[in-house]
Amino acid sequence: MIELRGVGRRYGEREALRDVSLELGEGQTLVVFGPNGAGKTTLLRVLATLLRAHTGEVRVLARNLPEEGWALRGLIGFLGHEPLLYRELSASENLRFHARLHNVGLERVAEVLAAVGMEERSGEPLKTLSRGMVARVAVARAVLHDPRLLLLDEPYANLDPGAREHLQGLIGGASGRTRVICSHDPGGGVAEADLVLGLREGHQVMLKRANDVREGEIAELYR
């Protein structure tokens, strides 16, 4: 599903990612840990085709990035720090816009809004909603087109506590989708993972199967 070999990306003289290599199979979950600035978001954006890698090879869904990135859009669901929604528009207006961009039937918008528990306030402009609610709509946006690969950057950060349970079917392990999650939560993160990647200052310092991760090993990354 995902193959990375020696992937690197620079910003000017700073190496945001350096020599990252891993393989992730279909239906599996990769959880990426690391302190701020470690390169987690950069890695996610490279996988999402939003950034080009400067060195190394990236293969997602049997496509080489960046040349074949066009073939992957519509197969990837991306949930970043920003909700990627227009504040002046309502939840359903935003989602209908995305539906049109992905050529998804409009009836699906109502389905997804119901699944994230936002049908009631779907007609109000997002700027009147709380951050937790906007985060739910963002999740709806990410799964609207039924992606094969989910890329989630600290997905539970803005969600209300109850929402995390509620949304397991959409973005959690129960969804059955292949997932790459950036996380700051060692306990919960490892529990969800099949594969764990530790980044520090762009370097790959740990890559293990979740079962092999020792107690406190994640916390060491942050020291």
Partner 1 sequence: MYGKGLRTLSFATVASFFLALGLVFFYAPLEAEQGFLQKIFYLHVPLAIVALCGFVAGGIMAIMHLRTRDQRWDMRSYVAIHMSLIFGVGTLITGSIWAKGSWGHWWVWSEPTLVSFLIVFLLYAIYQPLRFSIEDSERQSRYASVFAIVAGAFVPLNFLAVRLSTEYLHPRVLGSSSNLPPKMRLTFLVCLAAIALLYITLCKFEMTAKHTRSQVRALRRALSGEASRLGRSAVPTLDQAPGRAAGMGTGTPSASVASSGAPAMGRPGV
Partner 2 sequence: MSPARSLASERPSEGSALAHDMPLRPPSLTGTVAALLRKELLVELRTLGSVPSMSLFAMSTFVIFHFALNRNSVDGDLAAGILWVTLLFAAILGVNRLFVADADQGGFDAFLLAPVDRSAMFFAKVLTLLAYLLVFELIAVPAFGLLLLGPSLSAAMPELLLILLLGDLGVAVIGTLVGALAVHTRARDLLGALLALPLFVPIVIGGARASSPLLALNHHAGSSGRWLATLGLYDLVFGLIAYAVFDFLLED
Phi, psi of 85 (to 5 degrees): -130, 155
Contact flag: residue 183 with partner 2 (CB under 8 A): no
The answer to whether 59 and 68 are in contact (CB under 8 A) is no
Q: Does 119 bind partner 2 (CB under 8 A)?
A: no
CA distance 210 to 5: 20
Which phi and psi angles does 212 have, rounded to 5°? Answer: -85, -5
178-182 and 14-24 beta bridge pairing: unpaired
Under the criterion CB under 8 A, does residue 14 sit at the interface with partner 1? yes
- Judged by beta carbon, residue 34 or residue 147, the one nearer partner 1 is 34
Whether a cis peptide bond, with omega within 30° of 0, leads into 66 is: yes
Which one of 5-13, 24-32, 38-46, 152-160 is the stretch in contact with partner 1 (CB under 8 A)?
5-13
The bridge status of strand 14-24 relative to strand 2-11 is antiparallel
Q: How far is the CB of 13 from partner 2 (least distance, A)?
A: 18
* Identified binder of partner 1 from the candidate list 11, 26, 35, 86, rule CB under 8 A: 11
Residues binding partner 2 (CB under 8 A):
1, 26-27, 45, 48-52, 61-63, 70-71, 73-76, 78, 80, 82-89, 93, 97-98, 100-108, 111-112, 115, 125, 141, 145-146, 148, 169-170, 176-177
